[in-house]
Structure 1
Amino acid sequence: MTIRHISKNNYGKNLTAWCLLVLSGLLLSNDAFAQTPVSKPLAKIDSNYNHAHYQQRTEFFRKSHHFKHPIVFLGNSITEHGEWQEVFDNHNIINRGIGGDNTFGVLARLDEVLATKPRKIFLLIGINDLSRRLPIDVIVNNYKRIITRVKRESPKTTLYIQSILPVRESMTTASYLKNISPLVTELNKRTKELAAAEHLIWINLHPLVAAADGQLREELSRDGIHLKPEVYITWANYLKSQKYL
């Protein structure tokens, strides 16, 4: 290899040429960037679930007596309002419903549920995801994550996926529940397909509560979304008639 000697004068000239070359490259590069269209920012996903009621309920769950191999009803306010032990006359049933919860919240607290190695889990979640207009693909992916964790961490647990209940939009006052019925239909279609792919039982609750137009029957609710207490008896009797419980 030949080492070429560079004089001070030549070095200065070469350095100046090199700087000009780099500067011109940067200018061309900046010009190229200026001509490249900037991608639109991604839409924000409102996945918040950690509100005060969520914190209080999860703290209660952690400190309450842990049954061995219980039957768990897991979900949001629809589940929380159910007196499951009483309607089934079974003290080994536990209520793990939290008002306002969504699929992200269920994932965050699944450790406490699976630690008991439940015999069965009846999952009903998603209406609060839809009310925030979370993409259905995101919701279904969270369902997949829930299913994966149940199978991995408590493989003897039988997981039932229950359909999202319809709402009666004319009775609701919340703007975020308006025009939500098509989304409920689409999410139920997707979770039914997912349950089939995962070899799980998908429970269709719509025949119990839906009117001819597909929305929640007016006489079963006071606000268009939550159920009157007596509806839970019908719900429980249906699960028993299908031999799910």
Structure 2
Amino acid sequence: MQEYIKNSIHLFLFSFLVVSLSFCSAPTETAVETETVSEEAPKEEEKQKTILFFGNSLTAGYGIDADDSFAGLTQKRLDSLGLDYRVINGGLSGETTAGGLSRLDWFLEDQPEIFILELGGNDGLRGIEITETKSNLLDIIDKVQTKYPETKIILAGMQIPPNMGQEYASGFTKIYPSVAEETGVTLIPFLLENVGGIPELNLPDGIHPTEEGHQIVFETIWPYIKEKIGA
């Protein structure tokens, strides 16, 4: 009888131990499952691509509504085609190539898909040394290419009237194809093609395009942008 009671006690203790171990192991499985779920982080949303126009009063749309400038018209065309791009207008009236170089870093906090450089006109009107203008343009492009090698760059060529002499005007015009060749960027030969020097397409100052003038400038620029985005 004592032996029977002893065996019963042993059996009871063994059963209690098995049940206890089962309860102890359960939380471990739950913890592992919870940990696995927490490791699945939500996918980061893809950032909207940007097109940055970096220039002077021509880019800013001096004298007209910014939405009617060639930069604003670019945004409208992109929207009408259902293309998810955001246009940034980095135009500043009176800006020179030196000024543009000094403020460029602020615009390069995020990577632009396309960078359109429209500077130099004010340099020419002020008679700034051609070598200085060219050097600044090269430095601006180098900064963009160094920080964002994948960014596509378009350089807008410019011409000036011969107020500073024909030799200076001719030398100025040659800056842009020279810079484009040295850096490998895409060149628009003359931004104001079919607009510059035409009174009815410019404001009374004879320098800044009217809304109609900006529409023509936009049509000059658009094929280059279209090619870069594959539209």
Q: TM-score range by the shorter chain?
A: 0.5 to 0.7
Q: State whether structure 2 residue 113 is matched by structure 1 residue 119.
A: yes
Q: Which runs of 5+ in 1 are unaligned?
A: 1-66, 170-177
Task: Determine the structure 1 residue equivalent to 2:197.
Answer: 216
Q: How far 1:74 moved relative to its partner?
A: 0.8
Q: State whether structure 2 residue 135 is matched by structure 1 residue 156.
A: no
Distance 1:83 1:207 in 2: 11
Judging changes above 3 Å, is the alpha-carbon distance between structure 1 residues 234 and 134 closer, same or farther for their aligned structure 2 residues? same
Asked whether the equivalents of residues 116 and 154 of structure 2 are also in contact (C-alpha less than 8 Å), the reply is yes
Distance 1:84 1:224 in 2: 20
What SS class does the counterpart of residue 192 from structure 1 fall into?
A: helix
Q: Which moved more, 1:80-89 or 1:107-116?
A: 80-89
What SS class does the counterpart of residue 208 from structure 1 fall into?
A: coil
Give 1:88-107 correspondences, 5 Å limit: 88-89=75-76, 90=78, 92-107=86-101
Give 1:229-244 correspondences, 5 Å limit: 229-242=211-224, 243-244=227-228
Residues 55-100 of structure 1 show CA distances to partners (whole Å, capped at 9, x for unaligned) of xxxxxxxxxxxx8541011111011002523444146111000000
Distance 2:186 2:154 in 1: 5
Q: State whether structure 2 residue 199 is matched by structure 1 residue 205.
A: no
Asked whether the equivalents of residues 71 and 121 of structure 1 are also in contact (C-alpha less than 8 Å), the reply is yes
Which structure ranks higher in relative contact order (CA pairs < 8 Å, sequence separation ≥ 6)?
Answer: 2
1:199 maps to a residue whose letter is G
Judging changes above 3 Å, is the alpha-carbon distance between structure 1 residues 185 and 70 closer, same or farther for their aligned structure 2 residues? farther
What SS class does the counterpart of residue 130 from structure 1 fall into?
A: helix
Q: Which of residues 134, 137, 157 in structure 2 aligns to 1:143?
A: 137
Asked whether the equivalents of residues 121 and 160 of structure 2 are also in contact (C-alpha less than 8 Å), the reply is no
What SS class does the counterpart of residue 71 from structure 1 fall into?
A: strand
Task: Determine the structure 2 residue equivalent to 1:17.
Answer: none
Asked whether the equivalents of residues 131 and 180 of structure 1 are also in contact (C-alpha less than 8 Å), the reply is no
Asked whether the equivalents of residues 166 and 206 of structure 1 are also in contact (C-alpha less than 8 Å), the reply is no
What SS class does the counterpart of residue 95 from structure 2 fall into?
A: coil
Give 1:39-188 correspondences, 5 Å limit: 68-81=48-61, 82=69, 84-89=71-76, 90=78, 92-166=86-160, 178-179=163-164, 183-188=168-173
Asked whether the equivalents of residues 120 and 157 of structure 1 are also in contact (C-alpha less than 8 Å), the reply is yes
Q: How far 1:207 moved relative to its partner?
A: 7.1
Residues 141-169 of structure 1 show CA distances to partners (whole Å, capped at 9, x for unaligned) of 111111110111111111111011545x8
Distance 2:127 2:70 in 1: 30
Residues 5-40 of structure 1 show CA distances to partners (whole Å, capped at 9, x for unaligned) of xxxxxxxxxxxxxxxxxxxxxxxxxxxxxxxxxxxx
Task: Determine the structure 1 residue equivalent to 2:44.
Answer: none
| Higher-helix-fraction structure | 2
Q: How far 1:121 moved relative to its partner?
A: 1.0
Q: How far 1:181 moved relative to its partner?
A: 6.5
Judging changes above 3 Å, is the alpha-carbon distance between structure 1 residues 136 and 155 closer, same or farther for their aligned structure 2 residues? same
Q: Which of residues 223, 228, 240 in structure 1 aligns to 2:210?
A: 228
Q: Which runs of 5+ in 2 are unaligned?
A: 1-46, 62-68, 79-84
Question: How large is the RMSD of aligned CA atoms in angstroms?
Answer: 2.4
Of all paired residues, the percent bearing the same amino acid is: 24
Aligned residues: 166
Asked whether the equivalents of residues 76 and 99 of structure 1 are also in contact (C-alpha less than 8 Å), the reply is yes
Q: How far 1:185 moved relative to its partner?
A: 3.5
Larger Rg: 2
What is the TM-score normalised by the length of structure 2? 0.64
